[in-house]
Amino acid sequence: MTLIGHKKHGGLNKPVMGNFGRNEFAIIGGHCSLIKSLADIVITTLSTHYQCAYADTSHHDDTIKPGRLFCGAALEYSDEINHSTINYHTSQNPYQLRELFALADFVLVNGNHQQAKEQIVIICDDKKASLQKRIKQLTNVQLFLLDEGMDEVFDFVKEAVPNWQTLPIFNINEHKKLIQFLQNKLEMAKPPINGLVLAGGKSERMGFQKELINWHGKEQQYYLADLLKPLCEQVYISCRDEQQNTINHDYNTLTDTFLGLGPMGAILSALRQKPDEAWLVIACDLPLVNEQTLQHLIKNRNTKAIATAYKNNTDNFPEPLIAIWEPKSYPVLFSFLAQGYSCPRKVLINSNSHILEAPEPTDLKNVNTIVEFEEMRQILNIKQPF
């Protein structure tokens, strides 16, 4: 029996995904050799700026060849000279596939065998009957490619795609137009950036709350939030639940929902709130950060990576708490958490991260102790920073 008002599942914000990833196109209606050739051309160009992936179904015999899978292994990993392979004994369900493709910015799919949330339709006379069988797969057509000798979209396709006249139509050999079309799509799909000021720490080493220090004429949490406002879509102050009522209501707050994990919990909480958007995270213990520092980070953002961060010149490690965390970092952070690691720096070091030199390395100087507090007071020539 289900109780009135009872929710079977938690109210999580789900990322917008297809069968494989966030941005995926099935190329359907042509010979498989043509689809693979187009995929090669597109991926060769786009892979310089995006993590590209490809999905297909093999035409070969499905019989497992002699080897570890044949012997009963569930998985076989092989580290080759120029690449690595992972073979599974069983097929992957949609949830596992999304996990495998989680780092991809863009997935091309052989639509003759697999489905994707958006489609590129090849109008090919030889594959007319095959396309007609798959007509129900044309759920979100974005582009038509006319094969050699073709000059019009099939009538049954026009019926299945009511808005067909508004869609671009290229010839099959107009590769530059195809690539430009996909580049435009990916640019439009680039995740917006929100700002997150980390103010939820207990400042135990300092002995008083770092976010309340007045380094620049206002509390540090408000100073940083105001710095972020012109650079981000929305800005939030990350805090503990009991802090909410103490924060000025002119500022948005985002309470930690992953408790006891420090900064990693705050980052995960933000990604949980808006899993399709990036987050520019900045800690309250960085008094010298300025607009130039943040603008440089955004200008050099690399969405191909899970995050863009500055290198700390003191220890040469990346700084996770002045960084842009992309949506694709969400499952990566979880995977480290599942292995018992809650250090976001460890995630950056052991993942595909984009690390920058700071325009002015001293801007990254942090203040976590009384000694560092006194040093910063001298640098900024402040008598009473409260």
Q: Kindly report, residue by residue over 158-198, the tens digit of the pLDDT.
A: 999 999 999 999 999 999 999 999 999 999 999 999 999 99
User: Is position 7 within any domain?
Assistant: no
Ramachandran angles phi, psi of 374, nearest 5°:
-65, -40
Q: Where among 188, 207, 230 does a domain terminate? A: 188
- Does residue 168 share a domain with residue 224? no
For residue 154, the number of C-alpha atoms closer than 13 Å in the C-beta half-sphere is 19
pLDDT at 215: 87
Say if residue 172 is in the same domain as residue 198: no
The lowest-confidence range among 140-149, 202-211, 263-272, 369-378 is 202-211
CA distance 335 to 96: 13
CATH number at residue 287: 3.90.550.10
Does some domain include residue 146? yes
Rounded-to-integer distance, Cα 223 and Cα 290, Å: 10
Give the dihedral of Cα atoms 216, 219, 222, 227; nearest 10 deg: 20
Q: What is the pTM of this model?
A: 0.91
Same domain for 210 and 141, yes or no, is: no
Q: Going along 187-277, which residue ranges are E strands?
A: 193-198, 235-239, 252-255
Q: 218 and 85 in one domain?
A: no
Contact 140, 119 (CB under 8 A): yes
Domain containing residue 140: 24-57+67-188
Question: Please, are residues 287 and 203 in contact by the beta-carbon 8 Å criterion?
Answer: no
Indicate whether 1 pLDDT > 50: no
For 345-349, what is the mean pLDDT? Answer: 97
Structure tokens at 152: 């019009």
The pLDDT of residue 190 is 96
Residues 243 and 179 placed together within one structural domain of the fold = no
